[in-house]
Chains A and B, each alone.
Chain A
Amino acid sequence: MAGQVLAILVLAPLLQGVLAQLRARLRGRPGPSLLQPYREFSKALRKRARAGRSDSAVGFAAAGFALGTSVAILFLLPHIFNAGWRSAPFDAVALVLFFALGRAATVLAALDTGSSFSAMAVGREIAFAAIIEAPFLLALLAARTVPASALLAGSALFIVLLFESARIPVDNQETHYELTMIHEGMLLEYAGPVFAAWQYSAQLRQAVMVVLVGYVFSGGGISPVLVSILVVAALPLVEAFQAKMRVFDVPQLATAATLLAVAALGIDTLGGLR
């Protein structure tokens, strides 16, 4: 268990690098080095920390809080894999609510800066969070007793992954353009080690999500690791061949995820009746 947690802690930035590299290759560009996220961290750690409002340390505390939440999620994960999704207490419900806790810290930190850019991003973040939470949990709860259920739940969770990791078509990590940004927008006022903490906790959550999607897709049949690798390959494909959606079209994606998740859970439940 400690080994798995440690592996994700070390490799989460590498995953970000791999995704950036693959996306660039698909677009016909050489792309950044796989180790670029680590370099960014080492540079950020050498800079002076800056956290929004200058007269309080609230922004710092929030960054630490969010990082702690991501680590807590990491520690929840092995419990869930060992004991099952619906076996209390270390279960999908706790996982989803801890994701929400990390988001709450980010949102409050962004609003604490008082910047309108950040607040604009917050407005989108809380709206999307409200509609993505239900498919997230429902997809995790689907027991995936039949391949169809696993497929549906996995697809729903893949959409949730797009939301949680701030990727096209929901968000765009590569711009700081106020019409598109959500995740980056909230962290605009943060720099140096505090910014690194925010980014690192986001990368940890992204890694956890990839593992989750892989696990759910595999449905206990195929190797989850293999499926996770496929998910990693699929993400840049979506990013390279999809256009960024209009902000107010994004909810349709969440609706699709909800329908998929409800269908998955429905198939399981009806299957359980027989």
Chain B
Amino acid sequence: MHALRPLASLLLGAVAATAVALAVLPLAPFVIASSVFARYLSLDFVATPLARPFLIFLAIGVIAVAIWNLKRGRAGAGIALAFFSATMVGVLLAHSVFAFLLSWESMSLISILIVATDRERKDVRRAAFAYALISQLGALSTTIGFAILAVHAGSGNFSTIAAAAASLSPAMRATAIVAIAIGFGSKAGLVPLQFWLPRAHPAAPANASALLSGVMLEIALYALALACFVLVAPAGSLVGLVLLLSGLAGAIVGGLAAAAESELKRLLAYSSIEHIGVMVSALGLAICASALGFPALATLAFLAMLFHALNHTALKTLLFLASGTVVERMHHVTDLDRIRGLGSDALKRSAPWVLVGCLAAAALPPSNAFVSEWLVLHGFIGATLSGNLELAVIGVLGLFALLLGGGLAAAAFLKLFGLAFAGAPSSRERETESPERFDAAVLSLALLAALVLALGIFPLPILNALLVVATGTLGTSPTTLPGTFTGVAHLATFAALPAVGAIIFWWYGVRTAKKNDAVWACGSAPPARSAYSATALTKPLRRIFAFALFPERQRSFFPAATSDFPTHVRYAVSTRDVTNEAARAIAALAQRLARRLRIVQSGRMRIYIAYAAAAIVLALVLGR
């Protein structure tokens, strides 16, 4: 097994290097055409300007996972991840329907297998099943949409489709875009198709979760942008509005669920829903603004979306990899009610980088997500100022939803770091082996944290590069960032003041702190059991948002007969995810229908031959 580790990392590194090379080098399109059905079944690959930044984002996530994998995670798993990453590169390069669907389906299948890694656990099996179900439904929907476009264009090539899309009838156009958006949106975890995400992403091993959340979501976002701005451009303001509302709902639902969640990896998955919501709302704003004739606003929103995608890759890969370190160091305990003070012992070296990641996930300065969130908010402010009624309403709504979602996400990540990492470790953590040393896993976190801060403090070079992509994709005239926006770089200088204050006080604290100060706990030494739990910490939030979270608590006393003097009390709090219930209702309906349809499956060979004959006759009649 030892040789596997470097090999897996090498493979991942090779995929990342290929992605970077494809993104940077000017390469000719690559076509494999089969002779018979060449029109529809040709495999075209090319690195389009829109795909190039996403190739770089992918490489960042993959490199981080490769380094982390040198020390932690199952050695063999890295090889599967390398294949997974390769299929994602395929999706980004695909330039024909067949090539795209082939890569997309390979990506889905491999990721389903990766999610099912710990398939001996029932929750993992169920998560993998839910993911498989939504993937297949999504792929079906995408195929329908692509089929409409390809048949109309008479070719599977994306350039031809894009050229022919303008002459599509409005009804077909709407059907195609809706079908495609459902397919890609389900993969991106768009509300209301997100129910599988908070189950499947945490079920996978951490390095896989990092790629699922940190890279694959961005691939789905790329696919959405590709559909709306390249294949079926212009997408129309109604599509934009639907995406925007879905994104805003995602920002609130994801933030709320993350704030109420007490399991580390599920919290991160919910936060992914929040972040993808921010990105998709920016995409929707870009579509609306573009359709209503505000190219500058559309460019700003699209730029904000691209930058937020990069930032989310960096911060979510960082946090999910850190969760993997927690899983290994804490022997699979990832319940925030039970882990304490990782920063002073078990994850001593990783903690500072996790703090950077948490601040970024909460969009606080001077992190990269602060800059992109700031840009997204300015997109919506611009919408309120546009003078167009529809955009103005969108703007006010968007500002409200994004701030509420962002505030809730901030609560979630302050809870995460404050309880699990800050503070003194409880006795449980003291039992773990030696304090963490600096190793490859810590190095990968440190590199990602450095990237998060670098992008936050010096965002301009990247923003200018992404601006070229945005103007190219939207077909707006190439511009430079307005002067006011280049000033965003100066905001980081304001963040230098807190940093200076922290350093001065740190130095002062190291000199004056005394060893014998104990925390006040009503005069007695606080037992570890009395430590405040994550569940208790979020009680106010559960009360305030009871109308959406449906909190329920169960108290059981042992022995039950003498509840006045129990020796043992069990206290459990649960919240419900409304969208889960909706999904369950749909699944139940599908199962009922399937049971009805079972009549046709008689099991007799003659009947099946009759079906086949009927199908052939029908095809001949219709195809005439």
Contact = CB atoms under 8 A, between A and B. Distances in A.
A166 to B, nearest CB: 15
Contact of A114 (B381, B408, B526): B526
A117 B526 CA distance: 12
B467 to A, nearest CB: 15
Contacts of B374: 89, 93-94, 97
B497 A72 contact: yes
A133 B407 contact: yes
A2 interface: no
Nearest to B412: A126
A19 interface: no
Interface string B373-384: 110011001001
Interface string B519-559: 11100001000111000111111011000000000000000
B509 A108 contact: no
Interface in A42-64: 48-64
Given A126-B415, A266-B396, A131 B500 contact: no
Interface residues of A, number: 85
B495 interface: yes
Given A66-B498, A68-B502, A107-B418, A57 B485 contact: no
Contact of B400 (A72, A93, A110, A262): A262
B508 interface: yes
B588 interface: no
Given A61-B509, A123-B538, A134-B404, A111 B378 contact: no
Contact of A89 (B396, B411, B491, B519): B491
A199 interface: no
Contacts of B505: 57, 60-65, 67, 194, 197
A208 interface: no
B526 A116 contact: yes
A127 B414 CA distance: 11
B497 A270 contact: no
B516 A97 contact: no
B403 interface: yes
A72 B414 contact: no
A72 B540 contact: no
A107 B419 CA distance: 10
Interface stretch (A28-36, A98-106, A219-227, A236-244): A98-106
Q: Binding site of A, secondary structure by majority: helix, strand, loop or mixed?
A: helix
Contact of A115 (B381, B512, B519): B519
Interface stretch (B1-9, B134-142, B242-250, B358-366): B358-366
A258 to B, nearest CB: 7
B494 A130 contact: no
Given A52-B519, A61-B505, A114-B340, 4 more contacts: A111-B422, A116-B521, A120-B532, A126-B259
25 contacts: A64-B500, A64-B501, A64-B502, A64-B505, A65-B502, A93-B374, A94-B374, A94-B494, A98-B494, A100-B364, A102-B498, A108-B417, A111-B419, A114-B423, A116-B530, A119-B537, A123-B538, A123-B540, A134-B407, A194-B509, A248-B543, A248-B544, A265-B399, A272-B387, A272-B392
